[in-house]
Structure 1
Amino acid sequence: MTIKGYGLGIMLLSVALLAGCTSNQSVKNNDNRQQSSSQSSSAKSVTATTKVSLTAAIKAFQQQYPDASITSIELETKLGRPVYTLEGDGGTQEHELQLNGRTGKVISKKSEQLDQEDQADHKANQLNLSKVISPSKAVAIAVHDRNGGHATELKLDKETGITYWEVQVRQGQRQVDVKIDAHKGSILETEHDD
């Protein structure tokens, strides 16, 4: 009877150990799947196909409009390609330049006259572009904050003196806008679109 008891005890202990190992392996597999999903989600982001750096896009704008200050930069996918849209003003004129994010070629450019109120706000609207985090860094921060998803659009803008990235993160059918301080990399706010 005692030999049967020991045998039964060893068998139960073995089953418990196997169940624990299987459960632990299941957790590891789930973690790997989540990490892989997060990596593949990042690969779908607009920055994954963008070859032109933010610095190069800014330089292209400044070459076209040397007297203008940049007031916003947007990066989004249009017709299957990444496109930068840079806007700025130079005293009396507002300028817009669209660049192919893969090749750096100019897609379009236009200028129009600013009204007097916008001319007065010229300095207040100018972005602080020194030491701005890259679009891919902004995407990584936003996707990490949302525990996955992919960025469909980014915009560098300014509000109440703070230059920030606004990153649209898509998670299935849901979209979340994440505002990130463009210099510190800290999240300022998140907004869920219904």
Structure 2
Amino acid sequence: MKSKVIFTGLFSLLFLAGCQQNQTTTPTSTTTQTSETTVVSSTNKSEDSSTANSVTSSSEASSSQSTNPEIKVSVERAIELFQNKYPDAAVTSLELDSDWGSYFYKIEGVDDENEYSVRINANDEQLDAENPERLDRDEQNGQKKSEDALDVSNLISIEEAGKIAVEKVGGGTATDWDLDKELGTTYWDVKVKNGNQTTNVKINSQTGEILSTEIDD
């Protein structure tokens, strides 16, 4: 009788030990699965981040390519270079074109006695000045200066003027910019080439308002 009781007790102890072992193993397996899920999630986030960075980089590259690489000197900077050389002169004419094979500004101006003309490389700011010319007697003492001086304050940029002109024409490329004055209004005259057609668009140089358009024959 005692033997049966001892045997039954031993069997119960072994049975309980086996159950406890099974219960301990289960959480370990669950923990492993959770860790694997976390790794996969992190990997997906990294891939998403890489994709977003790639899209941003492509967008930035596209934007930088839209700017004419030959024109690195702004119109404000070109005028500043002219005025640094001739502090008392007023700007009476400004052109930006590529007639010499690359883009140059040609700026003319006058003071009370002389007329000046310079050419500025639109890529590296190199300035070449012509010899000053003496004004006629009736143009001296500020006469020509007051009549022909352009308003160069608050100018819209050549990029903005070109964009306005191209949109007005309906497509094409802005190739030349002239700053001039008529009836007291300073304006940009922008040449736009669209296929075989060339159009000149006059734009108020301060407000961006289109003043007129003319198609070259």
Q: Is TM more than 0.5 here?
A: yes
Residue 51 of structure 1 aligns with an amino acid whose one-letter code is: K
Following superposition, the deviation at residue 78 of structure 1 comes to 3.1
Following superposition, the deviation at residue 173 of structure 1 comes to 1.7
CA distance in 2, matches of 1:134, 1:109: 26
CA distance in 2, matches of 1:92, 1:172: 45
Runs of at least 4 residues of structure 1 off by over 4 A? none
| Post-superposition CA distance 1:51-98 (Å, at most 9, x none) | 011111011101111110001111001333110001100112110010
Q: Which runs of 5+ in 1 are unaligned?
A: 1-38
Aligned to 1:104: 125
User: Structure 1 length as normaliser, TM-score?
Assistant: 0.73
Name the SS for the 2:155 alignment partner. Answer: coil
Contact 2:110-2:144 at 8 Å conserved across structures: no
Q: CA RMSD in A?
A: 1.9
CA distance in 2, matches of 1:118, 1:96: 17
Q: Which runs of 5+ in 2 are unaligned?
A: 1-61
Name the SS for the 2:82 alignment partner. Answer: helix
Aligned to 1:172: 195
Which of 107, 111, 117 is matched with 1:90 structurally? 111
Residue 147 of structure 1 aligns with an amino acid whose one-letter code is: G
* Cα separation, partners in 2 of 1:186 and 1:65, compared to 1, 3 Å: same
Following superposition, the deviation at residue 168 of structure 1 comes to 0.7
Aligned to 1:55: 76
Aligned to 1:27: none
Which of 101, 108, 113 is matched with 2:134 structurally? 113
CA distance in 1, matches of 2:193, 2:158: 16
Alignment pair present for 1:157 and 2:180:
yes
Alignment pair present for 1:186 and 2:172:
no
CA distance in 1, matches of 2:171, 2:130: 35
* Cα separation, partners in 2 of 1:170 and 1:68, compared to 1, 3 Å: same
Following superposition, the deviation at residue 48 of structure 1 comes to 4.8
Following superposition, the deviation at residue 134 of structure 1 comes to 0.7
Alignment pair present for 1:139 and 2:162:
yes
CA distance in 2, matches of 1:149, 1:126: 32
Q: Comparing both structures, which one devotes a greater share of its residues to strand?
A: 1
Contact 1:97-1:110 at 8 Å conserved across structures: no
Name the SS for the 1:137 alignment partner. Answer: helix
CA distance in 1, matches of 2:115, 2:90: 9
User: Structure 2 length as normaliser, TM-score?
Assistant: 0.65
CA distance in 1, matches of 2:92, 2:100: 25
Q: What is the number of residues matched between the two proteins?
A: 152
CA distance in 2, matches of 1:49, 1:116: 41
CA distance in 2, matches of 1:48, 1:117: 44
Following superposition, the deviation at residue 113 of structure 1 comes to 1.3
